[in-house]
């Protein structure tokens, strides 16, 4: 193969065709974009710092179970026309059209549902980009603390015109949290049981700083043995767990090992929690979804960690 003149001409022609066809594709895409309605007068700042323009809000799609729960909790559930595959609460959400999950979003279905706004979640960058390119307003939510969750509920309320419902809900949630916090704050350090939360059994995955569970355990008056780990969901060594000698073990409903199986683990019989049969399971959705039910998760944890105060 020699780099003759004919060859260079051929390559030049090919590159021209490439440029022209790409330009045409961009032109077609732009035309389609211009044909779509504008008239989006409201401006909102979402949790990723993006400025989003929204028009009327009559059809909402949620691509995260926590967003779905928030929408129903503030009374906007009837506006939801599409949810992600994992949205299962409340029960009405189960029957709503599914639009995919965080691995692959069904962009076609979302487009054909003609949503006015999509409530996405942090980490769905690819999906957010694709939807925005099609002219769909996408508001991104991201909560790492209880205060963030209150903020998200207010944001959803503002967008859907349910501000009053949202404010009332937040006030209720804050009250319930305060009910628990005021009692556990009075405990001194020795009265905080050591808690090991097990998300997964192989390897032993727990919840550390930056996770909701860590915060909830603290508010509920316990000490998370993984509180000083390096990340939000660390993998703990068996040695560490055994030497930490937790007083209470709480396992997620997602865990393959049930509390009974945990208590049967070789070498674990000397752990306080196993000796006292203080091994419990909790619905994972109550402590991992950044929505209103996180307070329910907190109340459940409080009852487990301090039954003498909160009953069980």
Partner 1 sequence: MEISFLLIIFLLLLLSAILAISTGSASIPPGDVVNALLGNADTLTKTIVIDLRLGRVLLAIGTGLALGMSGCVVQSIFQNPLAEPYILGISAGSVLGVLLSLVFLSSFEHLKYSAQLFSFIFALLTIVLVYRIASVGGTINPATLLLGGIAISALFSAITSYLIYTTFSKNIATILFWTMGGFWQANLVSGILVFVVALISGICMLLFWRELNALSLGDHFAMNVGVDVSRARTVLIALVAFSVSFAVSFTGIIGFVGLVVPHIARSIVGGEHKKLLVYSGLVGALLLLWADILARTLIYGEELPVGIITALLGVPFFLYLLFRRRRLC
Tell me whether residue 28 or residue 171 sits nearer to partner 1 (CB atom). 28
Nearer to partner 1, 1 or 256 (CB): 1
Q: Is 6 among the residues that bind partner 1 (CB under 8 A)?
A: no
Secondary structure (DSSP) of 232-268? SSPBPPHHHHHHH--SEEEEETT-SS-HHHHHTSTTG
Distance CA 76, CA 71 (A): 5
Using CB under 8 A as the binding rule, whether residue 59 contacts partner 1 is answered as no
Q: Which of helix, strand or coil describes residue 83?
A: strand
Is residue 254 at the binding interface for partner 1, with CB under 8 A as the rule?
no
Among 58, 88, 108, 238, binds partner 1 (CB under 8 A): 108
For residue 136, the minimal CB distance to partner 1 (Å) is 10
94 touches partner 1 by CB under 8 A: no
Window contacting partner 1 (CB under 8 A); options: 23-31, 177-185, 221-229, 242-250: 23-31
Q: State whether residue 192 is helix, strand or coil.
A: coil
Query: Torsion angle, CA of 132/44/78/68, rounded to 10 degrees?
Result: 70
Q: Which residue in the set 9, 12, 50, 254 belongs to the binding site for partner 1 (CB under 8 A)?
A: 50
- For partner 1, the binding residues in 111-130 under the rule CB under 8 A are 111-112, 114, 122-126, 129-130
The piece of 13-21, 74-82, 154-162, 278-286 that touches partner 1 (CB under 8 A) is: 13-21
Name the DSSP letter for residue 98.
B
- Residue 90 phi, psi (nearest 5): -75, -175
Q: What is the dihedral of CA 250, 253, 257, 258, to 10 degrees?
A: 70
Q: How far apart are CA 139 and CA 123, in angstroms?
A: 13
Beta-bridge partner residues of 201 = 204
CB of 172 to partner 1, least distance (A): 28
Name which of residues 189 to 248 contact partner 1 (CB under 8 A).
230-233, 235
Please tell me the distance from the alpha carbon of residue 101 to that of residue 21, in angstroms, as a whole number: 33
Interface contacts to partner 1, rule CB under 8 A: 1, 7, 10-11, 14-15, 17-18, 21-22, 24-26, 28-29, 32, 35-36, 48-50, 85, 98, 100, 102-109, 111-112, 114, 122-126, 129-130, 133-134, 230-233, 235
């Amino acid at each position: 193969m020699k780099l003759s003149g004919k060859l260079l001409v051929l390559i030049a022609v090919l590159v021209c065709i490439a440029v022209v066809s790409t330009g045409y594709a961009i032109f077609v895409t732009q035309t389609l974009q211009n044909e779509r309605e504008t008239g989006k007068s409201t401006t909102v700042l979402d949790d990723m710092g993006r400025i989003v323009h929204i028009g009327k809000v009559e059809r909402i799609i949620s691509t995260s179970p926590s967003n779905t729960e928030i929408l129903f909790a503030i009374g906007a559930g009837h506006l939801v026309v599409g949810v992600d595959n994992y949205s299962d609460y409340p029960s009405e959400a189960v029957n709503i059209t599914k639009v995919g999950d965080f691995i692959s979003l069904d962009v076609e279905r979302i487009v054909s549902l003609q949503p006015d706004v999509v409530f996405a979640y942090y980490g769905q960058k690819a999906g957010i980009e694709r939807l925005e390119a099609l002219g769909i307003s996408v508001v991104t939510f991201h909560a790492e603390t209880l205060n963030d969750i209150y903020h998200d509920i207010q944001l959803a309320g503002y967008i859907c015109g349910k501000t009053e419902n949202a404010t009332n809900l937040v006030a209720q949630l804050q009250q319930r949290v305060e009910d628990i916090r005021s009692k556990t704050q009075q405990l001194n350090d020795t009265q905080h049981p050591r808690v090991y939360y097990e998300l997964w059994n192989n390897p032993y995955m727990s919840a550390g700083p930056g996770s909701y569970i860590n915060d909830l355990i603290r508010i509920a008056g316990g000490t998370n043995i993984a509180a000083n780990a390096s990340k939000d969901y660390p993998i703990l060594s068996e040695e560490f767990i055994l030497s930490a000698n937790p007083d209470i073990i709480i396992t997620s409903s997602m865990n393959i090992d049930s509390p009974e199986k945990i208590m049967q683990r070789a070498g674990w019989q000397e752990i306080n929690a196993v000796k006292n049969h203080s091994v419990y399971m909790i619905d994972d959705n109550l402590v991992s979804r950044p929505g209103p039910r996180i307070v329910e998760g907190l109340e459940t944890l409080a009852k487990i960690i301090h039954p003498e105060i909160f009953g069980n």
